[in-house]
Amino acid sequence: MFTGIVTDIGTITKITRAGDTRFRVQTAYAPEDIALGASIAHSGVCLTVIETGSDAGGHWFDVEASKETLDVTSAGAWQEGTKLNLERALKMGDELGGHIVSGHVDGLASIQSITPEGDSQRYTFKTTPELMPFIAPKGSVTLDGTSLTVNEAEGLTFGINLIPHTQTVTTWGLSKVGDIINLEIDVLARYVARLKQAEQELGASS
């Protein structure tokens, strides 16, 4: 489990494609603090650490992604030099600064517009008809591993406001219109939708 609070910006420095795809990620995390088998969220994608080390470029760790992961997330487009929002898995007693995040991407969204709003930036995203029912004003959503609050939602689009701090400590300061973003819906929204569906099914059968 994660919280959607990014703790480092990693950089992909090496990609090995053989069977599954192996990514080497340069990071500020010390190798001795990362256990093999640990889960780390990479711009919202939960991947397992299989090797760690340090070299002239700094600290690094390796993860592998399956074809399924590459097909349904933005990981399929990652290249050497790609920047990633990193978050270590939540530990018992850690502060829950964002919201409950699983690291299992539900789908993709695209940036439609970026508009200055005071010192902040207002982003508009477009996603699929299947995901929009789970996105509501004032609700939480995870975008590229970042816990964010929805400002408005209409049709297939929704808006998010990003303060300067968020743009500085995540990859959002590098984003541009047209970028494809990993989206994970709020687990609470998922269960509310399932309960509503169950009620409708029970009503239809009575």
Domains of the chain from N-terminus onward: 8-88 (2.40.30.20), 107-194 (2.40.30.20)
pLDDT tens-digit readout, 125-182: 999 999 999 999 999 999 999 999 999 999 999 999 999 999 999 999 999 999 999 9
pLDDT tens-digit readout, 15-60: 999 889 999 999 999 999 999 999 999 999 999 999 999 999 899 9
pLDDT tens-digit readout, 93-106: 666 666 788 899 99
Within a 10 A sphere around the Cβ of 148, how many other Cβ atoms?
Answer: 21
What is residue 204's predicted lDDT score, i.e. its pLDDT? Answer: 72
Instruction: Quote the strand ranges of the chain, DSSP E.
Output: 8-18, 20-27, 39-42, 45-55, 58-65, 83-88, 107-117, 120-126, 140-143, 146-154, 157-162, 180-185
Q: Is residue 69 over pLDDT 90?
A: yes
The pair of structure tokens assigned to 120 is 């902040």
